[in-house]
Amino acid sequence: MTSALALPRAVAWRGERVAFALLLALVGLLALVPIARLAQEAIAPHGRFDPAVFASVLQSRAVWRAAANTIVVAIGGTALALALGTAFALLVTLTDIGAKKALVFCFMMPLMIAPQVTALAWINLFGPNSTLLRAVGLAPAPGSPHPLYGAGGIAFLLGIEQAPVVFLAVRAGMRALPRDLVEAAQSSGARPWRIVRTVVLPLAMPSVAAGAMLAFVGCIGNFGIPAFLGIPAGFTVLVTLIYQRLAGFGTGVLSEVAALSLLLALIALFGLLLNGWLARRRDVRVTALVTAAPSWSLGRWRGTAETVCWLAIFFVLVLPFAALAATALVPAVGVALRAGTATLGNFHFVLFDYAATRRAFLNSASLAAGAAVLLVIVSVPLGYTLAGRRPSVRQFVGFVAELPYALPGVVLAIAMILCLLRPLPIVGFSLYSTIWIILVAYLSRFLLLALRPVTNALRQIDPSLDEAARMSGARFARRVATVIMPMVAPSAVAGGMLVFMMAFNELTVSALLWSAGSETVGVVLFSLEQAGDAVSAAAVAVIAVVVTLALMLLANAFASRTARGVLPWQP
């Protein structure tokens, strides 16, 4: 009876039914309809089944090369993410390594910071124009190719970005690990390392595999990193191919890019379904009541482990962003950073003087705030009405809400164009080439980020609190407003902040949906970098990082009152 509001066959009533129907329709419109429309455009462009477009896309050598590149960098990135994420999860959950909170916070940063910002930071760290390397005289010769351009650099950065995803999955698996199994191995005389190999890792294997699949899907859909490190080197993956086709030829090639998107979606869907299968395969017998992981003393190795961790964080996180900051502080590329040359002029320029960047900050902040507020408002009643439904209904709605978030952003963007290109019925105008199409796409893409914290929080609430309100005569709307909302508020707000953070830094969707006047921060960052204005790009990127960091710290203030697992960087 502790499964919270999810009571079997709990009775639902009038107001609740109406609300549930409306919310379901909304989720369907935001998530299911666009993706169905995309599939239809790809295989039945004129209302009739016609595989010609899809087939012609599959016959193109450029497509095959891009698909092969996509899979190669995704596998490379996944392998690195798997190694980093699993090792870190083992270290944090099983040992007494110091300052775990700070370590986890830093480890999660690459996932929170936009990939294009990370890419820019690394471009600024190495490369002939590196302000930082020039300051110490280590920069490559001018004119030499950037060492990170191409498949290797892309896979490396994808691996660093996706490592937190693997970490989260493995840590969740380790937390479900029954302590008595580990203790039984200990009393059998096994040493910690043997226990890890023979007990912990085999039991955590489904979680490790699930993390790998999620990282793989994340790698496939990433746009920022291959856009910054691939396009200048002529290295194309599916995502950048779709972007280039659409940017180059406009909406005339919609059927073709829809077919490309479908191909990409199918690769991602394969990973998602495999992930779902692995999650179900998790040994159900391993659900003990006592699940506290052991805390092994690292002994004399503790210092070494801590040094390695912090050195890795220094090289992977601090150094690239120091390089980024250094570039943002010099008046022009090539100027050495010294006390005399340092300037805040670039920041002043992008925030106040340059119309496009000023507009972009305003646009991104409004879009992010709008999406966050709307999604929090929707997700509380949605989560509440879902909680009383059958598990099959909950799972289906959860899957539908997950689709736009898990599928590559490019796929969602193309789907949104297909749905919103023609004038809407009733209102009679098209949302395409306005800022509203981006808002709709964000609502679709980030619904899951707002919904999941609410469902987590509801699961931890005693169902009798809701029943006591019903017994008191309170109907649906009143119960949501006076009982449910106040109790889930901290988690819902934290979810809203996640939405804001992700939407503010978003590039993949808006790169395909923006128009003059509706640029986002991601889009201007991309344009500035392509135009060669490295110092302004660096300044925009630094501001984006500062906003992200500030939001993470602000959300931490809620941490003690949110449901466990809402903020991914909380230990």
Partner 1 sequence: MAALTLDRIGKRFGHVEALDDVSLQVADGEFVAVLGPSGCGKSTLLRVIAGFERADRGAVRFGERLVSGEGVHVPPEDRHVGMVFQSYALWPHMSVAENIGYPLRVRRLARRDLAREVDAALAAVGLAGYADRRPAQLSGGQRQRVALARCLAMKARIVLLDEPLANLDVQLRARMLAEIAAFRKLSKATLIYVTHDQSEALGVADRVAVMAGGRLHQVAAPAALYRTPSDGVVSRFVGPGAVARGEVTKTFANGHAQVALFGREWQVRSAPGQARGDAEICIRPEDLAIVAAEDGFAAQVQRVLYQGGRTVIEAAPAAEPDTTLALSIDSSGAGALGPTVHLALVDGWVIPG
Chain residues in the site for partner 1 (CB under 8 A): 7-11, 13, 462, 464-465, 467-475, 478, 482-483, 486-487
Looking at the Cβ atoms of 306 and 467, the one nearer to partner 1 is 467
DSSP 430: -
Beta carbon of residue 473, minimum distance to partner 1 (angstroms, whole number): 4
Spatial distance between the Cα atoms of 22 and 15, rounded to a whole number of angstroms = 11
Locate 326 and state its tokens.
Answer: 């250094």
Beta carbon of residue 465, minimum distance to partner 1 (angstroms, whole number): 5
Looking at the Cβ atoms of 271 and 388, the one nearer to partner 1 is 388
Beta carbon of residue 470, minimum distance to partner 1 (angstroms, whole number): 4
Looking at the Cβ atoms of 8 and 142, the one nearer to partner 1 is 8
Spatial distance between the Cα atoms of 320 and 119, rounded to a whole number of angstroms = 9
- State the helix-helix crossing angle for 254-281 and 61-94, rounded to 10 degrees: 30
Residues present in the chain in total: 571
Beta carbon of residue 394, minimum distance to partner 1 (angstroms, whole number): 18
Looking at the Cβ atoms of 5 and 448, the one nearer to partner 1 is 5
Sign of CA dihedral 154, 35, 40, 514: negative
Beta carbon of residue 392, minimum distance to partner 1 (angstroms, whole number): 14
Looking at the Cβ atoms of 336 and 481, the one nearer to partner 1 is 481
Beta carbon of residue 458, minimum distance to partner 1 (angstroms, whole number): 14
Beta carbon of residue 460, minimum distance to partner 1 (angstroms, whole number): 12
CA atoms within 13 A on the CB side of 123: 30
DSSP 144: S
Largest Cα–Cα distance of the chain, in whole Å?
77
Q: Quick check: helix, strand or coil at residue 183?
A: helix
Looking at the Cβ atoms of 251 and 464, the one nearer to partner 1 is 464
Spatial distance between the Cα atoms of 561 and 565, rounded to a whole number of angstroms = 11
Nearest residue to 21 (alpha-carbon basis) of 274, 371, 393, 541: 393
Locate 534 and state its tokens.
Answer: 């490295």
Beta carbon of residue 429, minimum distance to partner 1 (angstroms, whole number): 43
Looking at the Cβ atoms of 2 and 187, the one nearer to partner 1 is 2
Spatial distance between the Cα atoms of 497 and 499, rounded to a whole number of angstroms = 5
Beta carbon of residue 292, minimum distance to partner 1 (angstroms, whole number): 24
DSSP 285: T
Spatial distance between the Cα atoms of 357 and 30, rounded to a whole number of angstroms = 29
Beta carbon of residue 555, minimum distance to partner 1 (angstroms, whole number): 20
Looking at the Cβ atoms of 466 and 529, the one nearer to partner 1 is 466
CA distances from 378 to 50, 384, 435, 471 (A): 38, 10, 21, 25
Looking at the Cβ atoms of 14 and 61, the one nearer to partner 1 is 14
CA distances from 114 to 439, 444, 547, 548 (A): 18, 19, 11, 9
Looking at the Cβ atoms of 344 and 477, the one nearer to partner 1 is 477
Nearest residue to 349 (alpha-carbon basis) of 323, 326, 329, 321: 329
C-alpha dihedral, 111 to 115 to 82 to 403, nearest 10°: 80
Residue 271 burial (C-beta neighbours within 10 Å; 0-12, 13-18, 19+): buried
